[in-house]
Every structure is written in structure tokens, then in C-alpha cells.
Amino acid sequence: MLVENKLVQIGVAAGELKVSVDTIRRWAKQGLIKSSRDGRGNRLFNVAEIERLQRKLSGTGEEKPFTVLRSEKTYPRATCVDLFAGGGGTALGFHNAGIPHVFLNEFDRSAVATLCKNSQAHGFDWNICPDDVHEVDFSKLDAQVIQAGFPCQAFSYAGKSRGFEDTRGTLFFEFARAIRTIRPAIAIGENVRGLVKHDHGNTLTTMLNTFDELGYRVNYQVLRAQYLDVPQKRERLILFATRKDLDLPIIFPKENDYVVTLKEALQNVPQSPGQRYTERKAKVMERIPEGGNWRDLPDEIQREYMGKSYFLGGGKTGMARRMAWNQPALTLTCNPAQKQTERCHPSETRPFTVREYARIQTFPDDWEFCGSMAAQYKQIGNAVPVNLGYHVGRCVLAALGEIPLEETMEVVAPLSLRSERPTNSSEQGALI
């Protein structure tokens, strides 16, 4: 019996478990197991976790069924404003965590229709504003939490403050304007992982300095959804800011030691429409094995299908890509049939359907999406996974003192914003 939480280097783990080093590396690359690093930068693995993975892959381990996480209790004082709400991934996740919403803003017509339809169907009674965020009067709102999945944009650096005023003309400015007006106890920002290096780190620097200027302590982490009850290798950067005068902790969810696979997630998924491949593409895709990509094709077909991309550098493994049943899906995009980011069903030669897409993003089966099929895929593909939102929401509740700190959470120190290019060791350590 292996010792729980025993961390060893890759060679030791391979020896104890009688697998090759390459096998462990492959599992790590596939996002099936986590790793951390010691003080010298050596990669460490939890041997008990690898043992559980072995049992799971062999069919002798316990399966983790698809579950949309929900709290049985609502916390009325933990009121929330949600900006750039989209199809409702984060809003539903926060709601399921027990956080009530007093205001949601979204401009896209199809997404607004989705929010309205589900709010009514599920009895949420959400106050949904379809206006352009630039026109929203935040002075009429009162909330303990503001959450915003704002688009990432580069900023101008003409000024010296690199703070609030330098964000004008961006949608992040509207998030900051809401914070300055409402003065919530906690502000949560969400974006893609690439924000960390966007414009050589200057964009994130400006955002962090803006929080500081507005009177908030802040830190950030890149959360890996496959370790937070989501059957998908999706990474989202979460900014967690707390008002300085309230002295609240900054809390992030800890990663689980298990993943939810597509086999577990897509059991008994409801039938629904979905995109289809052209006849030409289908003939190519049907030759791709489970978990494979264009490199598994004969060279002459590779050249024909890839075109000029065949001669470019990089892995290009998103092209002609078929998912695997025993893994989480790759990050979903807004178009599952797009050539550069294809997401083919593991055993059928077709893209994922709308309801399969929704399952992978951990939306419940009774969450309906409005608009054209393209609009539905876009809403789902752009969403924060509901279960990821749930975990962040529970951390928000703990920071507010509404629930006790749980073993699945960790308190982190706020960033020191003295340098222009802050680094975050916790974010770096979380990445494989």
C-alpha cells in the first residue's frame, strides 16, 4: 500500500509502480496526473495518485460520475453582481455554491435570451440587464461580490500610474468602474491563461496595479479545470481581490487528485443537434484513432489535408484531433469542427453535439441555450465551466466568513505590487 501524499521524483515513481518513465510523462502531458516541483526545480509526483490512475485506466478503479456540484444552502448576505455573464457558466456556478445574484449584465442577444429563459425556468428571478456595459449605472447597485469574465485587451502606457486611468477604452475599465462605484468586499476577475504573458506581462501588471489603486489586495492563480470536477483540460486565470479595510483572506480552491473522463461525463447524455463534417473531412477523420491526430495519417493524406500548415513549425496537434474516452477533453472552442482546433468524438466520426459540449462544460442537462446552433456552441465554448465556478464561489463564501475554510481550499498571501512585473510562484507551481 502506497503512502498517501508521498512525493517522489519521476524515476522513483516509475520504479515503485513498475511503469516506464515515459508512461508517467505521457500521463502528465495528457493532464491525467499532477506534478509539483521541489526547491531545485525537480518535478515531483504523488505515487498514490498514480496508483489510483493505474486502477482507473485498467478498469478496476472507482469511476467518478458526472456531477453538477450544488450546495443545499443559499447565503443571502453574499450578494453578487455578474458582468459579461455570457451563457451563465460562472453565474450558475456561483448560484450552485450558494451565492445569490442581484444583477447580471450581458450584451449578446442569444446569451441574454439564454439567461432569461433559464432564470425563469429554474426560478432564479435574476435581474438581467441587456444594455451595453458602458451605459450601466452602477451607483444603483449594492453587492458583496462582483464577478467579471472580461475580454483581454492591451492597454496604453502613456501615463505613469499604470492603474485605473490607463485602462480607459477597455472592458476591464468597466469592471474597475463597477468596483470603484459599488465597493464590494470581494472582486473576482476571470480570463484565459494567456493573460499572464499578454503584452509581455504588462496587461496583467496594469490590472493588478488598478486593484491596488482601488483599495484592494489581490492575487491570482491559473486553475486547471480537469482537477476541479470538470471533464476538460481547460485553464482559467482567476483574479481574487479583497477590500483592504476589511482584512479578508484571499482563497483559492485546491486541486483534486482525480480527473473526470469523457467516458464518465458523457454517459446517458441527451440527444441534441450538432455540427457535421463535410464528406471530405469525414473521410480523413474516420482514419484517426482514438486519442490521435493528423500525425496518425499516411504522409500523402497529411500533406493534402494540412496544406501549407504541413510545412509550418510547432506541433499542430489540434488539427484532425480525436478525443479519448479515458481522458478529459481538450479545451472546448466556439466551433468544434474548425480545422485548427478540431474536437472529434472519441468513437464516432463527428464533432460533439450541443448537449455533449454542455456536459463537458458541466452545465446541467436542463440548462437550455438559445439562438442558432453556432450561437449555442459559442456560448458554451466561451463559458467558465459551471463546476469551476462552484469551487471559486465556495472560496468566496469562505473569504466572506459565510462558511468555514474547507480542506479543499487554501489561503494565499496578497501580491506585493512594488515591482512593475509581478510574479506569482503559486501560479507557476500549479502548472505541469
Q: DSSP labels for 158-200?
A: -SSS-SGGGGTTSHHHHHHHHHHHH--SEEEEEEEGGGGTGGG
Is CATH 3.90.120 correct for 262-382?
Answer: yes
Enumerate the β-bridge partners of residue 330: 233
Catalytic residue ranges: 152
Q: For residue 389, what pLDDT is reported?
A: 98
Q: Cβ(25)–Cβ(230) under 8 Å?
A: no
**Looking at residue 430, what is its pLDDT?**
34
- Is residue 428 scored above 90 in pLDDT? no
- Looking at CATH, the fold of the domain delimited by 80-259+387-429 is given as Rossmann fold (3.40.50)
* Nearest to 163, CA basis, from 173, 153, 150: 173
| CATH number of the 7-58 domain | 1.10.1660.10
Confidence check: pLDDT of 58 > 50? yes
pLDDT of 159 higher than 50: no
pLDDT digits (tens, 9 = 90+) for 341-379: 788 999 999 999 999 999 999 999 999 999 999 999 999
Residue 422 has pLDDT above 70, yes or no: no
pTM of the model: 0.85
* Domains of the chain, residue spans: 7-58, 80-259+387-429, 262-382
